[in-house]
Amino acid sequence: MKQKILVTGGAGFIGGNFIHYMVNKYPDYFIINLDALTYAGNLGTCEAVEEKSNYKFIKGDITNREFIFDLFEREAFDMVVNFAAESHVDRSVADPEIFIKTNVLGTQVLMDASRTFGVKRYHQVSTDEVYGDLPLNRPDLLFKEDTPLHTSSPYSASKASADLLVLAYHRTFGLPITISRCSNNYGPYHFPEKLIPLMISRALNDEALPVYGNGENVRDWLHVYDHCTAIDLILHKGRIGEVYNIGGNNERTNLEVVQTILKALNKPESLITYVKDRPGHDLRYAIDSTKLKTELGWEPTYNFETGIKQTIEWYLENKKWWENIISGDYKNYFKEQYGDQS
Ligand code: NAD
Ligand code: DAU
């Protein structure tokens, strides 16, 4: 059946990859990409699908209620997939307010419009960070869908607040929702303020690689393509009202990640510089995706070795995309964030 799908935040990293995936996989669907083009949004990310007849870009802010209601009335969406967010933990430490506005209030506006105009599925893209962190010395512990929410940063608190609102809109108003909570993504079009693209771009320029604390914090890495296939399955087969965890089963310390990148690029480990730790820094994330696998049959296609190789190749072949980004405002951000330590 034909579907008209609103994808918010589609000029960002994961939303952009999802746009590519959906536009190509479902030529019968119509995909509308709504993005405010904040510092993290980049239309270059969607260049390859720009001319497709089943795709349209609209610039707009999810917190602008009047604009969003007009858009929903005009377009009559079947589904909404909400990626739009402020997504960087360090920025939420520096300035929390915009995180509450976009991530919490923006979600509410989208759900109010979805209720009013009869959207058949509202999907909220959430994160494993809502569960807080796990100790380093308990590899047996994993986040499950019923693990209590226990957040550390203004970013994760804003995402958990949004999740609670989404669940409340389902219970109170019967809004047909699903939520996915994913571990750390990596892959093409990843903004170079985040660990993996930051380290690749700086190593290629022979610049210092800022590792927070002692580099022992652990993240569970999932290639962004596998995140897209999971959301696709949840949209089409997931049960209304349910939360699904998505994880890569690829736990690595930050130091291991940086060393892998240096080795692949044939760069020396002397580039590694230990810098001041992130305040409230979560120790370890690890996701149990059993529900998604057994209920919906999801399996990731990449492991960390194949995924990081593909990602590094992409950054080598698409220098123009990230060099454009690191030449602008990004320079001021980098100076403020890392100061003299870099
Ligand atoms: P990103 O920062 O790369 O992209 C966010 C996009 O949202 C940008 O294009 C930006 O312009 C847009 N945006 C921001 N505010 C907006 C607003 N008010 N109205 C409309 N558009 C707005 O983020 P990402 O890494 O692609 O993450 C996408 C989503 O996935 C987020 O909700 C994030 O919480 C979640 N998530 C991310 C990861 C990860 O590893 N990156 C993992 C799990 C979940
Ligand atoms: O787990 C999912 C989350 O993953 C998403 O919800 C977030 O939107 C996304 O940004 C990501 O959050 P992290 O904080 O884990 O990602 P980040 O790339 O910022 O950092 C990954 C790890 O690397 C973390 O332990 C901090 C560390 N780090 C990061 C940067 C930018 C460094 O050591 N040095 C750095 O310069």
Q: What is the pLDDT of residues 153-178, one digit of tens each?
A: 999 999 999 999 999 999 999 999 99
pLDDT band at 23; cut points 50, 70, 90: very high
Cβ(130) – ligand 2 distance below 6 Å: no
Q: Choose, from 61, 129, 226, 232, the residue flagged as catalytic.
A: 129
Q: Which pTM was predicted?
A: 0.98
**So what's the pLDDT on residue 335?**
86
CB 13 within 8 A of CB 192: no
217 CA: nearest ligand 2 atom: 25
pLDDT of residue 12: 98
pLDDT in tens, 249-289: 999 999 999 999 999 999 999 999 999 999 999 999 999 99
Q: Is residue 54 lining ligand 2, measured as CB closer than 6 Å? A: no
**Residue 27: per-residue pLDDT:** 98
**128 has catalytic annotation:** yes
- How far is it, in rounded angstroms, from Cα 93 to Cα 155? 8
Residue 181 confidence (pLDDT) above 70:
yes
Check whether 342 has a pLDDT greater than 60: no
pLDDT-derived band at 74 (thresholds 50, 70, 90) equals very high
Q: How far away, in angstroms, is 81 Cα from ligand 1 center?
A: 12
Q: For the domain bounded by 4-338, which CATH number is listed?
A: 3.40.50.720
Instruction: State the distance from the centre of ligand 1 to the C-alpha of 99, rounded, in angstroms.
Output: 11
Query: What distance in Å separates the CA atoms of residue 122 and residue 114, rounded to the nearest whole number?
Result: 7
pLDDT of residue 336: 87
Mean pLDDT (whole number) for 317-323: 96
The question of whether 122 is a catalytic residue gets the answer no
Measured in angstroms, how far is the CA atom of residue 89 from the centroid of ligand 2? 7
Q: Ligand 2 centroid vs 256 CA: distance in angstroms?
A: 14
Minimum CA distance residue for ligand 2 atom 25: 217
195 ligand 1 Cβ < 6 A: no
Query: Going by C-beta distance under 8 Å and a sequence separation of 6 or more, which residues neighbour residue 323?
Result: none
Give the Cα separation of 238 and 245 in Å (integer): 12
Q: Whose CA is nearest to atom 33 of ligand 1?
A: 87
**Catalytic residue of the set 128, 163, 193, 282:** 128
Mean pLDDT, residues 285-294? 98
Catalytic residue among 21, 55, 131, 155: 155
User: 127, 183, 189, 195: which to mutate for ligand 2, most atoms within 8 A of CB?
Assistant: 195
Given a cut of 70, whether residue 68 has pLDDT beyond it is yes
User: Where are the domains positioned within the chain?
Assistant: 4-338
How far apart are the CA of 61 and the centre of ligand 2, in A? 25
**pLDDT higher than threshold 60 for residue 341:** no
Is 244 catalytic? The answer is no
- Alpha-carbon radius of gyration of the chain: 19
Q: Model confidence over 81-123: pLDDT tens digits? A: 999 999 999 999 999 999 999 999 999 999 999 999 999 999 9
Q: Is the C-beta atom of 83 inside 6 A of ligand 1?
A: yes
To the nearest whole number, what is the mean pLDDT of the chain?
Answer: 97
